[in-house]
Chains A and B, each alone.
Chain A
Amino acid sequence: MTAARRVLWTYLLTGIAVFTLMMLLGIAMRAEQARWVAFGPQIFYAMLTLHGAGMITSVALCGMGGLWYLMRQEGELSAGAALVAYALVVLGVVAVLLSVFPGGFAAGWTFLYPLPFVGATWPSWATGTFLIGIMLVSLGWTAWCFQMLAFTLTRYGGWAGASGWNLVFKRDAEPHEAPPPQSIAAFVVAVDGVLTGMAGMTIGVALIAHWLSPSVLVDPLWAKNVTFFFGHAFANLTIYMALGWVYVGMARYTGREYHTTKILAIAWWATLVFVAIAYFHHLYMDFVQYRPLQYVGEIASYLSAIPATAVSVWGSMLLVYRSRMRWTLGSIFLFTGLVGWVVGGIGALLDASIPLNFDLHNTLWVPAHFHTYLLGGVFLFALGLIYMQLEERSGRCSPPLLRWIIGLTTFGGMTVFLLGFYVAGANGVPRRYAIEPSPGPLTASWATVGALLLLLGLIVVLIEAIRLARLPAQDPA
């Protein structure tokens, strides 16, 4: 295995392993909300905290590994630097894990100051360990972003080249060529990622300062803004990282070519801005927030649908439309990932409308939409990437019957699981409740059944992946 592939698989396998563990916690929580089991609130909220922090990190790891590997195909990248970023993230995950089990830290992954310090039912060291863990993840992430940024800047001729500016304004930039779509994605993610990491470090140090010397006070509204800027952008960027290989994969499976166009570059500039400023929608119900920012939040959230649908989804649909598409598990996962992204986006747009948010804010509608595009989007994109690699390596794909079994269990289970959230959210059931009011327990019981079905499907996905991985590698000729 080459060094580049080792980096890819290190990231991907860690991401998928963490994802699987977190999924089990998720099922346990839904089962508790369905009142099938009773762990009690202390354990429930500890699981919730770990689930959130672990999931977001697991999809980020898949995204970082996948996009790094694609950039490695474009030029020289240091595997060592990628592994340092990886090590920082994994150390962070370990610290978070220790803070939750055995530490008992249960404030949620995007807790809002002064929460973890007031009314804590866990020891102070657990709070500190959690903060240090998140800080390490943030450091690893920032280091990765700087590596991507440095690569795109050097490879495509500085800011004007890497951003696509030269292409849009037809400036000749010899000897540098225009970046392919996945490189534009890497550039935009890296720029937003540095901003995100910066905000994460700022709030992280502020909270660590308060932890070590409680006389250092932090403004709660400021803390909320910075926390959500960090949390929102970090979560959002996991999708945009995955788009890098969606572009590449779709082109490969359809045998068509996907190039950077002016429109694509401009769409990504828009994305760069929207990812950074859409987070204001997390503060809609903070009426003291400076009012124009609420409007900015709604408009940015709305408009982010334009580059997403008109460029990435549209472009992928054109690649597929009446092509000689090879429908293998790899391409099916990539394509259904688009479905999850769009459907989750619709849920998000409704929630981003302030009059509707008044009724939906912090109900189960919120996990409904983000599970749709993290589980039904980014996670499927990650499976698509894994299968694409396995299929290309072995030159084989999975038999049709197996594809049907996997499709029905995975997507069927996922739909039932997600509908539980949507129905409960529309009926006002709050999110993050260990014990939910009606109709929470009922919808949680469907959701648990759906999640178990999904788990069954994913076990088949895993077994099939192992089978493909053990096939002899195809002759590269």
Chain B
Amino acid sequence: MSSSRRIAAYLIGALTLAAALAPLVSNEDVSIPEHHLLHALLLAGAVTTALLASPDTAGDRNGAWLIAVVGSPLLVMFLMWPSSYAYLDAHPMAHVGDHLSIALLGFLCTWSGQRYARGIGWIGGLATVSMAVLAAGGFGVVR
């Protein structure tokens, strides 16, 4: 891994972690779609970090990695449960935990994908980010 890539990985990883801590400093009210989109950004950071940090090998095609690739995005969706947002807004520490879990799962999906076969990581990561964006379209609406 080149040193510039390593630096970029640390930098984006640190930024993502910092973003995950946002609820500690701000408790501004955001709408549910905005909240989903902010999570998409967080995921994009985690996915990019994983892509930069993953080893440059062809991947070992061990099926066990697939479980993480397919399962992580699913769990991310569950962590974006809209009715929990009110509770999370009132409990910053839980909210940070939610964010860290989301970022971790985004990282896990991408990293495992790259370990499975190079190229799978970014499509898995992209899918995870897209799911969060898609969710903003109508998962949780206020009537």
Contact = CB atoms under 8 A, between A and B. Distances in A.
Interface of A: 76, 78, 80-81, 84, 135, 139, 142-143, 146-147, 149-151, 153-154, 158-159, 191, 194-195, 197-199, 201-202, 205-206, 209, 213, 215-219, 221-223, 225-226
Contacts of A216: 81-83, 139-140
Interface stretch (B2-10, B16-24, B112-120): B112-120
B55 interface: no
A88 to B, nearest CB: 9
Nearest to A78: B63
Nearest 10 CB-CB pairs, A to B?
A: A222-B138, A219-B138, A81-B63, A150-B117, A205-B77, A153-B119, A206-B139, A198-B127, A222-B137, A216-B83
Contact of B66 (A81, A217, A223): A81
Nearest to A83: B63
Given A84-B63, A153-B118, A218-B139, 8 more contacts: A143-B66, A149-B120, A151-B61, A159-B119, A202-B135, A205-B74, A216-B82, A226-B137
B63 A154 contact: no
B61 A78 contact: yes
Nearest to B142: A217
B70 A142 contact: yes
Given A150-B61, A198-B130, A205-B77, A143 B70 contact: yes
Given A146-B116, A209-B83, A217-B143, A80 B63 contact: yes
28 contacts: A80-B63, A81-B66, A84-B63, A143-B67, A146-B70, A146-B124, A149-B120, A150-B117, A151-B117, A153-B120, A154-B117, A158-B119, A191-B123, A194-B124, A197-B127, A201-B77, A205-B74, A205-B77, A206-B135, A206-B140, A213-B81, A216-B81, A216-B139, A217-B140, A218-B138, A222-B138, A226-B134, A226-B137
A151 B118 CA distance: 10
Contacts of A154: 58-59, 61, 117-118
A195 B134 contact: no
Interface residues of B, number: 37
B77 A202 contact: yes
B14 interface: no
Contacts of A198: 73, 127, 130-131, 134
Interface of B: 58-59, 61-63, 66-67, 69-71, 73-74, 77-78, 81-83, 113, 116-120, 123-124, 127, 130-131, 134-135, 137-143
B140 to A, nearest CB: 6
B117 A153 contact: yes
Contacts of A191: 123
B120 A202 contact: no
Contacts of A81: 63, 66
A150 B138 CA distance: 32
Contacts of A139: 70-71, 74
B56 to A, nearest CB: 13
A147 B131 contact: no
A153 B139 CA distance: 33
Contacts of A146: 66, 69-70, 113, 116, 120, 124
Contacts of B74: 135, 139, 201, 205
B66 A147 contact: yes
A217 B143 CA distance: 8
A380 to B, nearest CB: 31
Contacts of B131: 198, 201-202
A226 B136 CA distance: 12
B134 to A, nearest CB: 5
Given A154-B117, A213-B83, A199 B138 contact: no
Contact of A149 (B58, B123, B134, B143): B123
A52 B114 CA distance: 36
Nearest to A155: B117
Nearest to B128: A198
Nearest to A219: B138
A272 to B, nearest CB: 13
Contacts of B113: 146
A386 B140 CA distance: 46
Contacts of B58: 154
Contacts of A222: 137-139
Contacts of B142: 217
Contacts of B123: 149, 191, 194
Contacts of B138: 206, 218-219, 221-223, 226
